Amino acid sequence: MKVHLTRRYHFSASHRLYSTELSEEENRKLYGKCANPYGHGHNYAVEVTVAGPVEPATGMVANLVELDAFVAREVVEPFDHKYLNEEVGEFRVAVPTTENLCREIYRRLKDFPTARLAGVRIEETAANSFEYRGETREVQ
């Protein structure tokens, strides 16, 4: 029997949506106010879903204490109250869209040792959320 476990975490960070491959005008046109040279911030909610069999001895898919510590070390501590463009190495080159943030968080969590990472969902605002489940299937 496989069960999915989803746990929610929070961090606050700022970013600027800006591509060095585009002109200032193209960036403004594409990203609008999100291309503001001074950046802007969000209070992100991140849902991490792991899956696996229920361990008979514990009755759990994953130990929440271990999952919480892993996510804190790999995601919350490196991203919380950071300017993503400058303080997180991956976003010195990649545009820190929430789509890319979702993929980066997935990459950081995929090696959780006791259950398979099934997906990462990020709520950026009340109107925007993004989900990534790895490269196992093509999006049509």
Q: Strands 82-83 and 2-15: what pairing?
A: parallel
Query: Looking at residue 34, what is its pLDDT?
Result: 96
Task: Tell me the mean pLDDT per 10 residues along the chain, length 140.
Answer: 94 97 96 95 98 95 97 98 97 96 98 96 96 71
Annotated active-site residue in 4, 26, 81, 86: 81
Is residue 81 annotated as part of the catalytic site, yes or no? yes
Alpha-carbon span 74 to 109, nearest angstrom = 7
Annotated active-site residue in 26, 34, 47, 102: 34
Annotated active-site residue in 47, 66, 90, 124: 124
Among the four given CATH numbers 3.40.47.10, 3.30.479.10, 1.10.10.10, 3.60.15.10, the one describing domain 2-132? 3.30.479.10
Is residue 86 annotated as part of the catalytic site, yes or no? no
Q: In a 3-state reduction of DSSP, which class is residue 42?
A: strand
**C-alpha angle 41/17/71, rounded to 5°?**
55
- For the chain, the structural domain boundaries read 2-132
Q: In a 3-state reduction of DSSP, which class is residue 118?
A: strand
- Backbone torsion region of residue 52, taken as left when φ is above 0, otherwise alpha when ψ lies between -120 and 50, otherwise beta: left
Q: Strands 82-83 and 40-53: what pairing?
A: unpaired
Partners of 48 in the β-ladder:
7, 120
Is residue 4 annotated as part of the catalytic site, yes or no? no
Query: Looking at residue 135, what is its pLDDT?
Result: 79
Question: 């514990």: which residue's tokens?
Answer: 58
